[in-house]
Structure 1
């Protein structure tokens, strides 16, 4: 396990939160905060490292297994699932892109783009695109879309179709707010953007939050990075927070992506931060808001796989 000594990132006097890092398990003093973190578990009144693993023997499609807790054996066990067992769109969507909700209102493994209607066409998950209101195989050039209504989807893994202010559909890489200057929309992923008086698309700032209720617990994502900074309401204005003292026992860890911990009645920085990509001995660790997956291919026995699917509400 590789640990990183904390380096406090600042923008002026603003505290910057790095979403790729989190407190070491051993520093967490609250049970709820501990159990909410991947690879941490509260045992004997303290937080410690814990590896969630499920084992599947033999050559198999690891994407068709989930890792669930067995209350009787007190261990995680791999459980096989079929896409067809999910009877509503929400449950099916949790397993994208392995399971998709098709035009017959059923959850199934992906087969062909033609099995999906215009509304459900998996244009962001598979090599599908829309033509004449049909879902077809293959990606199209954005310039083929002639109206603002049809200008959607992707041209490649890096280029998305956007409608420009010149009334043309163009392929654009969404990197930051400025990349949307000249387009009808001014918003990108989780980065809040707005158009300024000159019509340019620029990042939103804490000062743009005019009401206290909008300012509280606001996180402004730094464009082009995995970092964000906090906002706090002070002296009748929304400002960049210089520390995390405005956070309480319940919000300290959550609002700071576990870069901070609750100790001695205040929200304080952790002495040690470690990567959320935790186990350097395992390959293919992926963490996202919807799911966490660990995949390990043994170098000694190629037919043995270790997988984890931990779905978060």
Structure 2
């Protein structure tokens, strides 16, 4: 038992001294916000003394009426959009899991069931199990044949992925290897399925060390750090490679940017903005929302219990 407690304390100490990771997908709930924060978020509204989550009826424009809401007869109502509610091919193509067929919007069936007016609309079709589509390649030799294809529509078919290893030159090393990876030429003279999940994945691939997340260190591609940010204006946060999280940065008295170990340097104006809404201003300090840190602590307790 003592060993478990020791491990738990070590983990908690590690958290206290670790970098602050901002999860952009874990925004605070509307009731957590003070008035100035509440007014920044389109799905929140200030009501006399508190911040509340908006209801469907609170959205007055169609572009904000989304999710479990639907725009009908000039109003946003509490009704989730279904394929059958989409009035035209364009709106149908923009709703996940739907496709345009026989002048109506239906739930996705098979790629080959759909004939679309624009080739790129085949690319957005997708089944629930992840099967993607592509426009069927049609050989045309004359301008008249091209016009006929456009007039008749583009037939969709199942997405065909490339076997990157079959390409023997940099010029031919192209195409999608999977739903998330593309064929890319490596310095060893071979073609590989490439996907940037960590900066080190780009070792040996020309031009693939994305400067937004990574930096070159000789022949290696490594993570950027807050110390790479050279001005106070830029020293706010640094996005991680999946772009759903960021590392919080802090500008020091030595005029250098470092990784922040807490959010106490943020004020009422910057607290909510720089943390993408995952922190809020409370009792004159910038704090992580309770729902977020409680989940983190609970996860740790469960982890320690099984050690």
Give TM-score scaled by structure 2 length. Answer: 0.57
Residue 260 of structure 1, CA deviation: 0.8
Residue in 1 that maps onto 2:178: 156
Aligned pair in 2 of structure 1 residues 73, 130: CA closer, same or farther (>3 Å)?
closer
Aligned pair in 2 of structure 1 residues 74, 37: CA closer, same or farther (>3 Å)?
closer
Partners of 2:288 and 2:67 lie apart in 1 by: 37
Residue in 2 that maps onto 1:194: 215
Paired residue total? 240
Deviations 1:39-75 (A, max 9, x none): x55434312456769xxxxxxxxxx998346798674
Give yes or no for the alignment of 1:251 onto 2:270.
Answer: yes
Aligned pair in 2 of structure 1 residues 218, 123: CA closer, same or farther (>3 Å)?
same
Residue 171 of structure 1, CA deviation: 0.9
Contact 1:22/1:274, CA 8 A, preserved across alignment = no
Contact 1:123/1:153, CA 8 A, preserved across alignment = no
Residue 204 of structure 1, CA deviation: 0.8
Partners of 1:71 and 1:246 lie apart in 2 by: 48
Residue in 2 that maps onto 1:19: 24
Note the residue ranges of structure 1 that are not aligned, 5 or more in a row. 1-6, 54-63, 87-91, 101-108, 277-313
Partners of 2:229 and 2:39 lie apart in 1 by: 32
Residue correspondence of structure 1 range 169-184 to structure 2 within 5 A: 169-184=191-206
Alpha carbon RMSD of aligned pairs, Å? 4.9
Contact 2:99/2:125, CA 8 A, preserved across alignment = no
Partners of 1:65 and 1:17 lie apart in 2 by: 24
Partners of 1:127 and 1:275 lie apart in 2 by: 42
Contact 1:260/1:270, CA 8 A, preserved across alignment = yes
Partners of 1:231 and 1:130 lie apart in 2 by: 48
Aligned pair in 2 of structure 1 residues 260, 116: CA closer, same or farther (>3 Å)?
same
Contact 2:226/2:259, CA 8 A, preserved across alignment = yes
Deviations 1:137-191 (A, max 9, x none): 5222123445545544422235432221234321134321111111113346x96
Give yes or no for the alignment of 1:46 onto 2:68.
Answer: no
Question: Equivalent residue of 1:17, what SS?
Answer: strand
Partners of 1:157 and 1:193 lie apart in 2 by: 23
Moved more, 261-270 or 144-153: 144-153
Partners of 1:124 and 1:71 lie apart in 2 by: 28
Contact 1:160/1:174, CA 8 A, preserved across alignment = no
Residue correspondence of structure 1 range 94-105 to structure 2 within 5 A: none
Give TM-score scaled by structure 1 length. Answer: 0.56
Question: Equivalent residue of 1:171, what SS?
Answer: strand
Residue in 1 that maps onto 2:207: 185
Residue 14 of structure 1, CA deviation: 2.6
User: 1 or 2, which has the higher strand percentage?
Assistant: 1
Residue in 2 that maps onto 1:209: 229
Residue 261 of structure 1, CA deviation: 0.4
Aligned pair in 2 of structure 1 residues 68, 124: CA closer, same or farther (>3 Å)?
closer
Give yes or no for the alignment of 1:229 onto 2:251.
Answer: no
